[in-house]
Every structure is written in C-alpha cells, then in structure tokens.
C-alpha cells in the first residue's frame, strides 16, 4: 500500500482522512503540534510527526529525504473574524504562512520524489472561500484563492510525470476551525440542523478520488452540506 503524509492530522478533517487512509491499509504519517493528540494517533495506526506549519525552513529540514506517495495538505488556521482594516496584521501574516507558505514548503519537500517515481497524488484542502468572496475573512479568503491557483498550476507542471493534484473545495465542515473565534453557542447554531458536513464525509471523498484509475485526475471536488445554514462562517 501507499505511504501517506497528512498535515494537521490531530483533529478535524486531517484526522478523519488519516484514519480513513490507515483503515484502507496505507502507511500513514500524521503531523500536528499537540503532543497528547499526536500520541493518540498511534492508537489508530498512524505514525505521529511533530511539525509546525508556520516555519517553512523547519518543514524542509524535517521532511528532507522522506518519501510519500500521497500528500494531504490539510493543516490550516483561521484568523479572528472582522474588518481587515481593524485587524491585527500579525494574524493575517500568520494565516498566509500557515495556509499558503506551509503547504508550499511541504509540497516542495515531497513532490520531487513523486515526479522521479512518475506517480503520486497531492491534495490541497481549499475552501468555498477560495472561489467566492466573504466579508470579515479577507486574509483567509486570500490564502484559499492562492491555494486554488497554486494547485491547478502545479497540476499542469507535473501531469506529464503521472502525478495527480486535487483541490478539495470544502463548504461548511464541523471542525475546531472556529474554536476561540466564535462562542460555543455561535458554533452550535452554525452547525445546527444538519447544515454542516462532517470530517468523515471529506475523508470518504478523498478515498474515492484516490481509487480512480491512474489516468484520471480529479482536479477539484466541491463538497457542501445539502441544507443551507446561516451565512456566518465558511470552512
């Protein structure tokens, strides 16, 4: 089976994907920053790797020489909601680093091996916020628009080597993304009445895409809840 690297694998979508891949028989390495949550990955048959997405140089150092057949660029962050002109620019800068430069650094470390082997699959967790504007999340939208453009340009660069690239354009997913940004009550209301998909739903789609024959590249898949909730928040 394949060797997979999943960033941000200690909770939410990343954990669901890592668990699904491990259950499918793949050799999975999951990254994160929380020591306790990393240790818990072992119980699911996932090898933990402490890795912070806000230090591209450290990413390159830790991943040097490591080879993977599947790369899930999932780790990301959401800055505090609010008008950009009233925000702390440091929050925006960190969002750009974690959501864009971090995945680029991980991909730069892993992709050359895939190209050399003429096989591999790279996923990027995008968002509907990377395809439509939303107020009060300008920096976040900017990173997701950038990830979308990067993923599609990258696909054209590596297609002839047999490497596939897929963008996941996720709508509202019930995760910890808004923890610390919205109150518990606000988050409960946002996810009420089945107006959010679950991390396991995204993981199932990833597994379906991976199962497609090598000559088929699902360049992007959109996944959204059937029922539409309040406009507050995106994936």
Instruction: Give me the phi and psi of 224, to 5 degrees please.
Output: -135, 155
Q: List, edge to edge, every strand of the sheet that includes 163-170.
A: 47-50, 27-32, 3-6, 70-73, 120-125, 163-170, 220-223
Q: What angle do CA 133, 187, 52 make, to 5 degrees?
A: 75
pTM of the model: 0.94
Q: Per-residue confidence of the chain (235 residues) as pLDDT tens digits?
A: 899 999 999 999 999 999 999 999 999 999 999 999 999 999 999 999 999 999 999 999 999 999 999 999 999 999 999 999 999 999 999 999 999 999 999 999 999 999 999 999 999 999 999 999 999 999 999 999 999 999 999 999 999 999 999 999 999 898 877 777 777 787 777 777 777 899 999 999 999 999 999 999 999 999 999 987 655 444 5
Q: How many CB atoms neighbour CB 131 within 10 A?
A: 15
Strands 3-6 and 163-170: unpaired
| Residues catalogued as catalytic | 140
The closest of 7, 13, 145 to 72, measured between CA atoms, is 7
The DSSP H or E segment spanning 167 is strand 163-170
pLDDT of residue 229: 67
CATH level 3 topology of 3-223: Rossmann fold (3.40.50)
CA nearest to 216, candidates 171, 155, 169, 175:
155
Of 114, 113, 147, nearest to 129 (Cα)? 147
- Could you tell me the residue ranges of all domains in the chain? 3-223
Could you report the per-residue pLDDT of 85-112, keeping only the tens digit for each?
999 999 999 999 999 999 999 999 999 9
43-60 pLDDT, tens digit each: 999 999 999 999 999 999
Length of the chain: 235
Q: Spell 181-198 as b/e; 16+ CB within 10 A means b.
A: ebeeeebeebbeeebbbb
């Amino acid at each position: 089976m394949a060797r997979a690297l999943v960033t941000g694998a200690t909770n939410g979508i990343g954990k669901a994907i890592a668990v699904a891949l491990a259950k499918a028989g793949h050799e999975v390495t999951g990254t994160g920053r929380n020591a306790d949550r990393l240790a818990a990955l072992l119980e699911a048959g996932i090898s933990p790797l402490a890795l912070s997405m806000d230090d591209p140089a450290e990413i390159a150092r830790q991943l040097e020489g490591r080879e993977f057949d599947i790369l899930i660029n999932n780790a990301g962050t959401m800055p505090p909601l609010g008008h950009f002109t009233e925000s702390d620019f440091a929050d925006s800068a960190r969002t750009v680093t974690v959501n864009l430069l971090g995945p680029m650094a991980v991909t730069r470390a892993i992709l050359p091996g895939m190209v050399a082997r003429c096989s591999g699959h790279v996923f990027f967790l995008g968002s509907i916020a990377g395809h439509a504007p939303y107020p009060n999340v300008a920096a976040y939208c900017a990173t997701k628009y950038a990830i979308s453009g990067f993923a599609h340009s990258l696909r054209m660069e590596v297609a002839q080597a047999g490497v596939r690239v897929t963008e996941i354009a996720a709508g509202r997913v019930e995760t910890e993304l808004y923890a610390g940004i919205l109150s518990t009550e606000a988050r409960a209301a946002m996810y009420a009445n089945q107006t959010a998909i679950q991390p396991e739903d995204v993981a199932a789609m990833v597994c379906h895409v991976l199962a497609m024959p090598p000559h088929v590249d699902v360049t992007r898949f959109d996944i959204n809840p059937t029922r539409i909730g309040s406009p507050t928040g995106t994936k």
